């Protein structure tokens, strides 16, 4: 089988196993959840709808109690910050967005993992760096690492830097046909902040090519926009790339990139921002009704790579000037059931108590949106499928993923400073982060609790065969402690909705 044929075959297999066919169940789950919440029902027992009560659980390979999980589930720790990798580089800090691909051998999986390093230019602390490699910015501190994992044993067979020369690599998403990973910079910093080059771009990490000691060349896809990127999702029907923006304290936009060549994003394309038809600057952040269908149009961003150092308008300003819709802290993004699901981490009417943003908006506990691309004469529509009524149900959803069985997992990133969020399984921690599942009946439930530190969960994804969920704890973005960790969780998934 040729390399191209093999990639196409694996892509089709992952599409089937990874949730596209099963995602109709996920959509039903979100729809049921919206109806349940809209009816004002009280919160159910957080374990009753899922896999039962959680308990502090030691790691099978380190013995440390780092997670609380339901009975029957176990985990191992992979790729902890500081662990020497195959290429001789210590595992970097700040483990963030991630995706799982079929491995190069049977019973293996390949993980491509972001590192949201926020240290100063050229800092050696936890840096993603391979001397002599082709990198965009010689002072860049962030990038991606790749791990090959044996699914049967949990052993890391090899791990290495797969892209460097970037900064603040937060989340991203799979490329069309699962050919690799698109990693996003969550910043617009540049030479005025001490970097050699402008930042705020998306970069490609091909599945095939990077090897230990030989990362992919980091070349920015400038036509896809220069803004504070968070995550992306690709519509496999059109090749359009949908992009979320997370610029804290300001209104954010939801973007669409229409490439000239869906298989070659470097060939350019058209960047657009979502606009609700007939309403300029529609405010999606609050006052919304779950289930309502909002007709959508798109406004073109005329200058997708603005010279911000010399006063050019940002992509957000350009889009809002044409009537683009306002969101707050757009983060996780996932394609399923013919639509794009994305999280607004701090949207919603139930407020978390933090100080208002610059324009007076007070942050909420989070929203989940769905963009439904139109077909034929039917235009695109936007639907609010869930809004959190409070921190116990869901507090600050960040990354999201669909499971191979049609369930939904939301990674919490509780950044509120006003509303303390302790947990009985994590004594001593003030703001505790969880993995929240959504049951078919609509109830949210706790699946996992980070009991090691107060850093967020990120990068949840399943192995193509559905047997293992991989997820990160971010750790510190500027120091070695607390460390970033990747977990491989295994258990009786079919006993519950995930």
| pLDDT tens digits, 239-267 | 999 999 999 889 999 999 999 999 999 99
Read off the pLDDT band of 120 (50, 70, 90): very high
Q: What is the pLDDT of residues 312-351, one digit of tens each?
A: 999 999 999 999 999 999 999 999 878 999 999 999 999 9
Read off the pLDDT band of 4 (50, 70, 90): very low
Read off the pLDDT band of 283 (50, 70, 90): very high
Element (H, E) at 331: strand 330-336
pLDDT on residue 62: 96
d(CA 224, CA 246): 15
Is residue 429 pLDDT above 60, yes or no?
yes
pLDDT on residue 369: 95
What integer is the mean pLDDT of 274-298? 97
Q: Tell me the residue ranges of DSSP E strands in 85-201.
A: 95-102, 108-115, 142-150, 156-166, 169-174, 180-185
Q: What is the pLDDT of residues 364-397, one digit of tens each?
A: 999 999 999 998 778 999 999 999 999 999 999 9
Q: Where are the domains of the chain?
A: 3-351+362-495
What average pLDDT does the structure give for the chain?
Answer: 90
d(CA 306, CA 285): 26
Read off the pLDDT band of 143 (50, 70, 90): very high
pLDDT on residue 12: 27
Read off the pLDDT band of 8 (50, 70, 90): very low
Is residue 400 pLDDT above 50, yes or no?
yes
- Domain 3-351+362-495: CATH architecture, name and number where available: 6 Propeller (2.120)
Sheet holding 468-473, edge to edge: 74-78, 485-490, 468-473, 457-462
Phi, psi values for residue 449, rounded to 5°: -130, 130
In the chain, the percentage of residues whose pLDDT exceeds 70 is 89
Residues in the chain: 498
């Amino acid at each position: 089988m040729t390399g191209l044929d093999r990639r196409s075959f694996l892509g089709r297999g992952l599409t089937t196993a990874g949730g596209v066919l099963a995602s109709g169940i996920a959509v039903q789950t979100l729809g049921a959840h919206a109806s349940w919440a809209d009816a004002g029902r009280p919160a159910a027992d957080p374990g009753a709808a899922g896999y039962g009560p959680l308990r502090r659980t030691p790691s099978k390979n380190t013995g440390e109690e780092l997670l609380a999980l339901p009975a029957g589930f176990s985990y191992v720790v992979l790729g902890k910050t500081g662990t020497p990798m195959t290429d001789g580089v210590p595992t970097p800090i700040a483990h963030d967005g991630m995706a799982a691909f079929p491995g190069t051998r049977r019973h293996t999986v390949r993980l491509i993992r972001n590192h949201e390093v926020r240290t100063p230019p050229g800092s050696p602390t936890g840096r993603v760096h391979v001397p002599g490699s082709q990198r965009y910015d010689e002072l860049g501190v962030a990038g991606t690492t790749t791990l090959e994992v044996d699914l049967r044993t949990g052993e890391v067979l090899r791990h290495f830097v797969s892209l460097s020369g970037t900064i603040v690599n937060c989340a991203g998403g799979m490329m069309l046909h699962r050919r690799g990973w698109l990693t996003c910079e969550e910043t617009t910093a540049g030479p005025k902040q001490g970097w050699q080059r402008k930042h705020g771009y998306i970069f490609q990490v091909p599945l095939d090519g990077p090897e230990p000691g030989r990362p992919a060349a980091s070349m920015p896809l400038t036509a896809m926009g220069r803004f504070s990127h968070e995550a992306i999702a690709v519509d496999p029907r059109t090749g359009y790339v949908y992009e979320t923006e997370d610029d804290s304290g300001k209104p954010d936009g939801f973007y669409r990139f229409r490439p000239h060549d869906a298989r070659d994003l470097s060939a350019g394309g058209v960047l657009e921002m979502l606009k609700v038809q007939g309403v300029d600057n529609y405010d999606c952040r609050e006052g919304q009704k779950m289930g309502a269908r909002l007709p959508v149009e798109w406004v073109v961003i005329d200058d997708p790579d603005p010279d911000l150092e010399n006063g050019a308008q940002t992509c957000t300003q350009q889009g809002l000037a044409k009537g683009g819709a306002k969101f707050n802290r757009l983060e996780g993004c996932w394609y399923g059931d013919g639509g794009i699901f994305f999280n607004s981490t701090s949207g919603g009417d139930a407020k978390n108590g933090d100080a208002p943003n610059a324009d007076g908006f007070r942050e909420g506990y989070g929203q989940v949106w769905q963009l439904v691309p139109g077909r034929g004469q039917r235009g695109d529509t936007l639907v609010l499928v869930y809004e959190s009524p409070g921190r116990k149900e869901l507090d600050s959803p960040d990354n999201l993923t669909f499971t191979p069985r049609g369930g939904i997992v939301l990674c919490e990133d509780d950044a509120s400073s006003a509303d303390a969020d302790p947990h009985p399984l994590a004594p001593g921690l003030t703001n505790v982060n969880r993995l929240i599942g959504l049951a078919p009946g609509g109830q949210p439930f706790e699946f996992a609790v980070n009991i090691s530190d107060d850093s967020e969960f990120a990068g949840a994804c399943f192995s193509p065969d559905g047997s293992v969920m991989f997820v990160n704890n971010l750790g510190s973005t500027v120091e070695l402690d607390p460390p970033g960790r990747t977990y491989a969780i295994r258990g009786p998934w079919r006993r519950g909705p995930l």
